[in-house]
Homo-oligomer: A and B are copies of this chain.
Amino acid sequence: MLAGGGLAVPARVSRAGSGPRGTGDLGIVIERATGSVLVVETTGRTVLGRIEGLGDLSHASAVFSRDERYAYVFGRDGGLTRLDLLEMRIDRRIVQAGNSIGGAISDDGRLVAASNYDPGGVKVFDADTLVEVAAIPAIGAQGRASKTVGLVDVTGRRFVYTLYDAGEIWIADFSRGATPVLTKFPDAGALPYDANVTGDGRHYLAGLFGEDGITYLDLWDDAPKLRRVFQGYNAGRDKLPVYKMPHFEGWGQSGSDLVLPAAGQNEVLLLDLSTLKEKARIAVHGQPVFCVARPDGREVWINFAHPANDTIQILDVPKAKIVHTFQPGPAVLHLEFTPRGHEVWISVRDADRVDIMDVRTRAKVGEIAARKPSGILFTARAHRLGS
Q: How far is the CB of A95 from chain B (nearest CB, A)?
A: 26
Taking the closest CB of chain B, its distance from the CB of A237, in whole angstroms, is 31
Query: Given the complex, which residues of B lie within 8 Å of A155, measured CB to CB?
Result: 294, 296, 298, 340-342, 359-360
Interface string of A242-259 (1 = CB under 8 A from B): 000000000000111000
Please pick, from B42, B341, B383, the residue contacting A339 in the complex, using a CB distance under 8 A: B383
Please, what's the 1-or-0 string for A367-387, where 1 marks a CB less than 8 Å from any CB in chain B?
000000000000110111100
- Verify A20–B157 contact, CB threshold 8 A: no
Q: Answer yes or no: A318 CB below 8 A from chain B CBs.
A: yes
Binary interface profile of A, 199-216, with partner B (CB < 8 Å = 1, else 0)?
Answer: 011100000000000000
From A21-29, A114-122, A282-290, the one touching the partner chain is A21-29
Count of identical protomers in the assembly = 2
Known: A22-B68, A23-B68, A25-B67. A383 touches B86 (CB 8 A): no
In the complex, A109 has a CB within 8 A of chain B: yes
A145→B244 CA distance, assembly (Å): 60
| A82 CB within 8 Å of chain B | no
Cβ of A156 under 8 Å from chain B: yes
Which residues of B are found within 8 Å of A238, using beta-carbon distances?
Answer: none
Q: Which chain B positions have C-beta within 8 A of A254? A: 200
Check A66 for interface membership: any CB of B closer than 8 A: yes
**Contacting A380 at CB < 8 Å: which of B25, B87, B220, B383?**
B383
Q: Does A93 contact B (CB under 8 A)?
A: no
- The reply on A16 being an interface residue by CB < 8 A is yes
Chain B proximity of A159: nearest CB distance (Å): 13
Q: Which residues of B contact A256 (CB under 8 A)?
A: 255-256, 274
Beyond A202-B296, A297-B200, A339-B66, is A20–B86 a contact (Cβ under 8 Å)?
yes
Please give, as numbers and ranges, the residues of chain B lying within 8 Å of A294 by CB-CB distance.
155
* A24-B379 CB under 8 A given contacts A67-B43, A274-B256: yes
Number of residues on chain A facing chain B (CB within 8 A):
60
Which B residues lie within 8 Å of A191 (CB)?
A: none
Q: With A201-B296, A274-B255, A296-B200 as known contacts, state yes or no: A20 contacts B22, CB within 8 Å.
A: no
Residues in B neighbouring A318, C-beta threshold 8 A? 220
Q: Which residues of B contact A179 (CB under 8 A)?
A: none
| B67 and A24 within 8 A (CB) | yes
Looking at the complex, which one of B20, B26, B86 makes contact with A15 (CB distance below 8 Å)?
B20
Q: What is the CB-to-nearest-CB distance from A359 to chain B, in angstroms, rounded to a whole number?
A: 8
Whether A273 is near chain B, meaning CB under 8 Å from some CB there, is yes
- Given pairs A66-B339, A340-B384, 4 additional interface contacts (CB within 8 A): A25-B109, A155-B342, A155-B359, A200-B297
Partner-B contacts on A (CB < 8 A):
15-16, 19-26, 41-43, 64-70, 86-87, 107-109, 153-157, 175, 200-202, 220, 254-256, 273-274, 294-298, 318, 338-343, 359-360, 379-380, 382-385
